[in-house]
């Protein structure tokens, strides 16, 4: 493209030379057109070149504008992007125009979407599992776990956990399930208990007496367990509730329990057998997951596919949920962009600042490309036309 305006300038020069001092009337018109065309060509060549470098290497004032002001241009461009492209109102309008939740659900239902999610998930899991085989990663996790455990105060933590269970009544649910389990185990093992009592009873005690006592005792225990499991206001539940509250308070404030927690923590940190066992357990778990992922009939793959398909189907049908998800996504995205838009836009200014001045000028010139040369072509032709007008007037 640079050759075309240059050839046009050469054509004007030839036409100027050919028509110089010709007496014909038409020659005056062509001479005026060529003369003004050369002036326009040189003027626009100077204007274009002055943006990117000194014309012919001469440091004329107000030339090589882009190399001199590249940092300012980068900052202005970054500010323009932050204010007009990353403005919260612009982002909000764009996101609200699309049903992100429904589009995502339909994409997840497509074979390509399912394949992409499965591939990304498996690659992420494989990367994490592979990292766990690295000695430095294991040592880092071990040091981190030991340090966190050393800073932990077990007794107050356990006390707060017990207090949380009591406050929401979860301890009563645990007690109910425990009573039911004990009742079932006692009922299923009555004969075993009766046999053990008969073996341990004195030789002089008649067997029917032992059996009668044991049966009555087991019946009474089963009745008590059943009453406690069914009656939420049973007196034993009240005692259990008070005992849990007292235990939670002791765990958080009793010096004795504090010492017990510290001793337990120290024994866990110093117990190499426990650490070796946990390490072997962890290694077996990681190896099992890797084997499963490499298996064509992987349970992880199947569960992941079922989870994604179920989520996509439910989201695609539930318009109310789509509205909620879309609103949440829009607010989250707008908030993130608003808080970080200047940092995001600074990528432009920082990148431009890191460029060499000549490199920046060359990149911008190459990006504008053909249009710069059309400026020179237009300057040549418009200059020639202006020359014709002036010649007509004179």
- Find the helix or strand (DSSP H, E) in which 108 lies: helix 100-109
The CB density around residue 246, as the number of other CB atoms within 10 Å, is 10
Domain assignment of residue 96, yes or no: no
Q: Is 3 exposed, middle or buried (0-12, 13-18, 19+ CB in 10 A)?
A: exposed
**Closest by alpha carbon to 277, among 288, 266, 268?**
268
Last residue of a domain, one of 215, 239, 268: 268
- The per-residue pLDDT string of the chain (394 residues; one tens digit each, 9 = 90 and over) reads 889 999 999 999 999 999 988 888 889 999 999 999 999 999 999 988 888 888 888 888 888 888 888 888 888 888 888 888 888 888 888 888 888 888 888 888 888 888 888 888 878 877 777 776 667 766 666 666 667 666 667 777 787 887 877 777 777 788 888 888 888 887 777 777 656 666 555 544 455 555 666 677 778 888 888 888 888 888 888 888 888 888 888 878 888 878 877 777 777 667 767 667 666 776 777 777 777 777 777 777 788 788 888 888 888 888 888 888 888 888 888 898 888 888 888 888 888 888 888 888 888 888 888 888 899 999 999 999 999 999 999 9
pLDDT in tens, 310-335: 888 888 888 888 888 888 888 888 89
Do residue 54 and residue 149 come from a single domain?
no
Last residue of a domain, one of 234, 268, 302: 268
Domain assignment of residue 49, yes or no: yes
CB of 352 within 8 A of CB of 77? yes
Domain assignment of residue 214, yes or no: yes
Do residue 59 and residue 150 come from a single domain?
no
Domain assignment of residue 152, yes or no: yes
CB of 40 within 8 A of CB of 386? yes
Domain assignment of residue 42, yes or no: yes
Domain assignment of residue 250, yes or no: yes
Domain assignment of residue 185, yes or no: yes
CB of 198 within 8 A of CB of 211? yes
Do residue 262 and residue 372 come from a single domain?
no
Domain assignment of residue 389, yes or no: yes
pTM of structure? 0.44
**What is the sign, positive or negative, of the torsion defined by CA atoms of 166, 245, 266, 174?**
negative
CB of 249 within 8 A of CB of 258? no
Distance CA(388)–CA(394), nearest Å, equals 10
Do residue 59 and residue 149 come from a single domain?
no
Last residue of a domain, one of 268, 283, 314: 268
Write down the H helix ranges in 294-369: 299-317, 319-354, 357-368
What's the structural domain count of the chain? 2
**Closest by alpha carbon to 372, among 50, 79, 22, 20?**
50
Its domain, for residue 264, covers 144-268
Do residue 56 and residue 150 come from a single domain?
no
Assigned token pair, 84: 């007009």
């Amino acid at each position: 493209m640079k050759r075309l305006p240059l050839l046009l300038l050469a054509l004007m020069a030839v036409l100027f030379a050919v028509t110089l001092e010709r007496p014909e009337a038409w020659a005056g018109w062509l001479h005026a057109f060529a003369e003004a065309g050369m002036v326009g060509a040189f003027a626009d060549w100077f204007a274009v070149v002055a943006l990117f470098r000194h014309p012919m290497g001469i440091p004329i004032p107000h030339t090589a504008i882009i190399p001199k002001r590249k940092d300012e241009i980068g900052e202005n461009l970054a500010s323009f992007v932050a204010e007009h492209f990353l403005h919260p109102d612009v982002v909000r309008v764009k996101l609200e125009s699309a049903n992100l939740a429904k589009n995502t659900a339909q994409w997840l239902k497509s074979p390509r979407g399912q394949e992409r999610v499965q591939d990304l998930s498996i690659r992420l899991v494989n990367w994490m599992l592979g990292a766990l085989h690295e000695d430095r990663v294991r040592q880092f996790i071990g040091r981190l776990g030991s340090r966190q455990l050393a800073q932990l105060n077990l007794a107050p933590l356990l006390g707060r956990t017990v207090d949380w269970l009591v406050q929401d009544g979860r301890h009563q649910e645990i007690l109910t399930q425990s009573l039911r389990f004990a009742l079932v185990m006692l009922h299923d093992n009555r004969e075993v208990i009766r046999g053990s009592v008969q073996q341990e009873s004195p030789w002089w005690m008649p067997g029917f007496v032992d059996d009668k006592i044991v049966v009555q005792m087991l019946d009474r225990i089963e009745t008590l367990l059943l009453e406690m499991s069914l009656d939420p206001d049973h007196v034993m539940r009240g005692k259990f509730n008070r005992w849990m509250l007292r235990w939670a308070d002791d765990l958080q404030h009793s010096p004795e329990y504090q010492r017990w927690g510290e001793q337990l923590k120290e024994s866990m940190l110093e117990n190499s057998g426990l650490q070796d066992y946990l390490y072997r357990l962890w290694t077996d778990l990681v190896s099992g997951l890797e084997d499963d992922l490499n298996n064509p009939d992987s349970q992880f793959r199947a569960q992941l596919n079922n989870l994604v398909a179920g989520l996509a189907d439910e989201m695609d049908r539930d318009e109310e949920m789509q509205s909620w998800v879309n609103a949440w996504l829009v607010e989250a995205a707008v908030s993130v962009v608003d808080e970080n838009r200047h940092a995001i836009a600074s990528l432009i200014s920082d990148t431009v600042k890191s460029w060499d001045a000549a490199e920046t000028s060359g990149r911008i010139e190459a990006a504008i490309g053909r249009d710069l040369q059309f400026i020179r072509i237009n300057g040549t032709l418009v200059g020639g036309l202006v020359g014709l007008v002036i010649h007509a007037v004179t």
